Structure 1
Amino acid sequence: MTDELKRTKELARKYETAFNSSYDPMFITDKHGYTLKLNKAYTRVTGITEEELIGKHMQDLIQEGIISDSISLNVLKKKERLTMVQSINGKELLVTGNPIFDENGDILFVVTNLRDVSTLNNLKEELNQTKALANHYLQELEHYHKQQQVIMHEGIIANSDNMVAAIDMAQKIANVNSTVLLLGETGVGKEVIANLIQKLSSRSTKPFIKVNCAAIPKDLLESELFGYEKGAFTGADDKGRPGLFEQAHGGTIFLDEIGEMPLPLQVKLLRVLQEFEVTRIGGGPTIKIDVRVISATNKDLESLVKQGEFREDLYYRLNIIPIKIPPLRERQEDIPLLAHYFLQKVNQKYNLHKQLTDDAFFTMKSYSWPGNIREMQNLIERLVVTAENDFIDSNHFPFTNQPSSECQASRKTMKEILHDIERDMILKAMVKYKTTRKAAKFLGISQSTLVKKMQRLGI
């Protein structure tokens, strides 16, 4: 065997190895359309063996139903590279035929490579799902940031579970038109939550009318809410006047202190909520309105219903979505955050640099705050503008040196009082959170510290 022949065989062996090493299926036809060669990947993907394919003409394979069409025959006809989707042995494949020319420009072979379209389709579907999921998360993130900006703008700060739950509910129902009833003590921030609902709603660019039912004289409240026709009563405007419900058309009306509304007026309000139409004082046609109603009260409306001071049917009409806003004493985790927020605002307002010490925060967390957030806000402003130095500690607070009658009666020492307070706080935390880990987080101490305190206090 000559050296030239050996080199030729070695080269052919290398080409054979490379041909069979390709992950993509490949086969070769001659210039007449007869199959000359196929690699192992072709059999792996299509299930067709060399014995079934070698030496056969492409047209015969089409007639036998093995292939749906022949890329090789199309390439031979058009004398150029072509790509098409082809069914081979029942499997959908993307095939590309490449013509190999001799020195005279005539086709010697057609080399075809295949790609499993089903795999590509699966990858495409997975990619589309990934993109959709990414877009979904992006939208949620943008929505979250949008809500957070509104919350911070509105001055709502919450870390406690009960306040976070109230805010979550407000966000959840913002875009529906259901009537909302905000419940909570004076100063807890009912109007702030109403503002949040309006800001996040589809009515955010529409009118937002706020009415304090307790601040308007009872004999004027009806005309303020529902308006009047000209000449309806002495002193009435000659042109008449639309009421606040009409002015809120398309938007939202916030009825604060709804528990103070007189009984006769409750009947008319109930009709408005049922029919969404108003009639001005002095007659005239009924006027259709599109208004979302948010009401608020610091009273126990159920008790007022039982006492006959509030209409039961109106209560149920207002109470479609109740949101309970917890008092500050039940939001201990939020007290330092709120105090810091108000401190920053006052410092910025008066160009000051006052700070609250650690014992100041402890004092605030130990106080019951009967006036809630409004009381804290006013107190911090007073302390900031009256404190002589930049550090505000427990001695500056008006309630630190005013022991309760209970403490005076018991004549306990400071150590005993602190012992009782500490024990009471730990017991309440354990009852609420069940585990030492959660209770420790609520109390602002480590779990090991809490366990040691419980052992020392005999809990």
Structure 2
Amino acid sequence: MKSVVITKFDEFNDIDRLLMDKWEKLLSDSEVPEYNRSIITSSWKRCLAKKIDPLRKEADVIYSGDDLKEQQEKNQFLLEIASPYIDELFEYYSGQPTLVMLTDPKGIILKGIATSEAWAKVDPIRFVPGADWSEEASGTNAIGTAIIEGKPTQVFAAEHFCQGWHPWVCSAAPIRDPFTNQLLGVLDLTAEKRLVQAHDLHLITSQVRKIEHEIRNIISKQNLTLIENIMDIIHDPLVIFDAQGRITRYNSPALHLLRIQSGEFIQTLFGCSMNDIKDKSCTMKLSKHGQEWAVQFQPYKIDTRFMGGMALFRKITPSNTKFKQLSTTSLSLPASSTRYRFDQIITRNPKMKHVIQLAKKAAFSDKTLLITGESGVGKEVFAQSVHSLGPRNRFPFVSINCGAIQRDLLASELFGYAPGTFTGADPKGKKGKFELAHKGTLFLDEIGELPLEAQAYLLRVLEEQVVVPVGGSDPIQVDVRVIAATNRDLAQEVKNGNFREDLFYRLNVLHLEIPPLRERKEDIPLLVNHFLYSQKEKDQIQLIDTSALEKLMQYHWPGNVRQLKNVLDKAMFHDQDGCISEEDLPAEIIGSAKRCENKASDGDFRDKKHKLSNPVITKEMLTQTLKLTGGNISKTARLLQVSRTTIYRKMSKFGLLM
């Protein structure tokens, strides 16, 4: 999109000076001067009462490394939903030194995205992930003040209580759970004060509304799935309630026992407080119609957020008057075993972004999904991400590689076997992958390797949702969402007689095709930076010089992302000085790059400086290098082996300079 036109406040310098006068008076008199923005004066009064240092020039970073990762994991639900909207907002301000930040409910920054220039400028004040920007810690600022005021807030220049934040203007809006009104976090847009725009606060508020709408949709679908799953397996009196304790659903035995109606509150019905039941499972006694009942309360949470729960009733009879607390194991939902989520997929490629959006839609469908793509593109990463986002994410994700198991054992792996079926096998029999994945997701990797006889059985299971273990006769009902993946052209395999046409159509209801790495080479610098960062030693930053990065960009990557990671792992092992060079790369990478160079030139590019001054320095390469060097132009120029002038010229060309 076109660059945003900066609309400054009228008489910018006069307003800036006026605010500075007000702040200096605050400093000299130790009392709040008259000012026409009550949201600011109220905040200043709180800051004075808290004895916050107005001369403060940097915030406290309270989380870093593993501690920061732990906080991010606790807020994974919000991060995953908000990330596309953060990217969208950042793209709107593309080319401007702005920062978009997401915090937790306390004002701790969880994630940020910014230009390299902006990162370099805010680093001294510690406006970075892990820093505490609550009002209590950092004085008047959009994040902290929005949390206290509970509404969108803009703080300009010397309206900030602390001197270190005066060069900035920030606009922030709280993100709330649309069902409970609980504060989930804050979305913030920050820029130098000279770049203030009249619509900044409106844009940030608009993005927050989109995030809250997405949260509402996801929670609604998850709640419906929770209710359906619970009602399917429980036949005793059962009541479902939301985060406020409002009864939303009940089964027939509960209606007969309690004579309840939707909309009543669990607190009124049982005379208990929500605090008694929202943090952990507990048991209470209830007398109804001359019968003693044990009521088991089981809370339900998404991440750490309390969503509601259920109350399950069991009769207390003379034979069990010493009632023991019901086992929560029988009520709890099995945990998923996935490692990957959508926000871990690194890309700038439009086609890849489109695939991610389709995958997110597919996450909320129960239809079979076929993921295709070359070996190493990340098909299982997508499969796990779909499961993690979808309503089955509290149930197992079970994976099986159809090409890695002996053909004669594949059926028993998928469908299980009955007791006594095989000599030397478990005499009790064994559950197959379908049973293990009940209520969850079964990922069939390399589905194209499945033998024809197993294909027929798989088709029947998909159509009937019933499995019969090998050697058995009793059908077992299963509820499984199937995701299949292959690097083969299944349509061609059907023509060749190697794959059943009816199974192909049954699997190919929803389809994702992941592009190979050679078709999204702009992602290579991003992936390189990610792999180097994730593998780095405690305090050692691993770098890569421009010559080595060029070679990686020129290679065709038949093994895709998996091969790229393998190459970098080997290069880091061979590297001696903390910076991967051309000499650390495998011979096939260098040889391929040389063939590329020979084709692309007639010997005109022998001069290294001439070669490096041509567009091989991409925007992504430059952005990542600037980030690695903290925005230091000299270090960036040395790393890329070009002049400072070239760096400035490239930054101007890519819109990284104002």
1:137 aligns with 2:210: yes
1:233 deviation in Å?
A: 2.6
Q: 1:380 to 1:403 in 2, by over 3 A?
A: closer
**Contact 1:228–1:242 (8 Å) recurs in 2:** yes
Using the alignment, how far apart are the partners of 2:597 and 2:357 within structure 1? 43
CA 1:145 to 1:319, structure 2 compared with 1: closer, same or farther past 3 Å? Answer: closer
1:368-417 superposed Cα distances (whole Å, 9 cap, x missing partner): 11111011111111111211112223343224542589679989754369
SS in 2 for 1:360: helix
Q: Secondary structure at the match of 2:563?
A: helix
Match of 2:421 in 1: 232
- The code of the aligned residue for 1:157 comes to I
Does the C-alpha gap of structure 1 residues 424 and 216 become closer, same or farther in structure 2, counting only changes over 3 Å?
farther
Q: In structure 1, what is the Cα distance between the partners aligned to 2:341 and 2:504? A: 32
- Which amino acid is 1:360 matched to? A
Tell me which moved more, 249-258 or 357-366. Answer: 357-366
TM-score normalised to the size of structure 1? 0.58
Change (3 A) 1:151 1:279: closer
Q: Which residue is 1:73 aligned to? A: none
Q: Corresponding residue for 2:497?
A: 308
CA, structure 1 residues 424+210, in 2 after alignment: closer, same or farther (shift >3 Å)?
Answer: same
| 1:52 equivalent in structure 2 | none
Name 2:573's counterpart in structure 1.
Answer: 385
After superposition, the Cα gap between the structure-2 partners of 1:140 and 1:258, relative to the gap in structure 1 and judged at 3 Å, is same
1:187 to 345, 354, 376: 376
Q: Which residue of 2 aligns with 1:372?
A: 560
Report which of the two structures shows the higher radius of gyration computed on alpha carbons.
1
Letter in 2 for 1:326: P
State the alpha-carbon separation in 2 of the partners of residues 347 and 407 from structure 1.
31
- 1:205 and 2:394 are equivalent in the alignment: yes
Offset at 1:331? 1.0
Contact kept in structure 2, 1:151 and 1:157, CA below 8 Å: no
Partners of 2:600 and 2:348 lie apart in 1 by 36
- The yes-or-no answer on 1:283 pairing with 2:356 is no
The one-letter amino acid of 2:358's match is M
The counterpart of 1:343, out of the listed 532, 537, 543, is: 532
Judged with a 3 Å threshold, the aligned counterparts in structure 2 of structure 1 residues 411 and 168 are, in CA distance, closer, same or farther, namely closer
Distance 1:141 1:394 in 2: 46
| 8 A Cα contact 1:276 1:290, kept in partner | yes
Q: What letter is aligned with 1:181?
A: L
254, 258, 272: which is aligned to 2:443?
Answer: 254
In the alignment, does 2:406 pair up with 1:217? yes
- 2:549 aligned with 1:361, yes or no? yes
Is 1:264 the counterpart of 2:462? The answer is: no
More helix by share: 1
**Sequence identity percentage:** 41
Query: 1:367 deviation in Å?
Result: 1.2
Which structure 2 residues correspond to residues 35-184 of structure 1 after superposition, within 5 A? 136-140=209-213, 155-184=344-373
| Contact 1:347-1:384 at 8 Å conserved across structures | no
**Is the 2:442–2:483 contact (alpha carbons within 8 Å) kept by the matching residues of 1?**
yes
Give the alignment's TM-score, normalised by structure 2: 0.41
Alpha-carbon distance between aligned partners in 2 of 1:356 and 1:424, rounded to the nearest angstrom? 18
In structure 2, what is the equivalent of residue 22 of structure 1? Answer: none
Whether the 8 Å CA contact 2:465–2:479 is kept in 1: the answer is yes
CA RMSD of aligned residues (A): 3.7
Q: Deviations over 1:202-225 (max 9, x none)?
A: 010101100011111111110010
What are the within-5 Å matches in structure 2 for residues 323-338 of structure 1? 323-338=512-527
Change beyond 3 A, Cα 1:391–1:152:
farther
Change (3 A) 1:286 1:423: farther
Equivalent residues of 2:465, 2:477 under 8 A apart: yes
Are the counterparts in 1 of residues 442 and 480 from structure 2 also a CA contact under 8 Å? yes
Superposition map of 1:402-441 within 5 A:
402-403=591-592, 413-415=602-604
Displacement of 1:240:
1.4
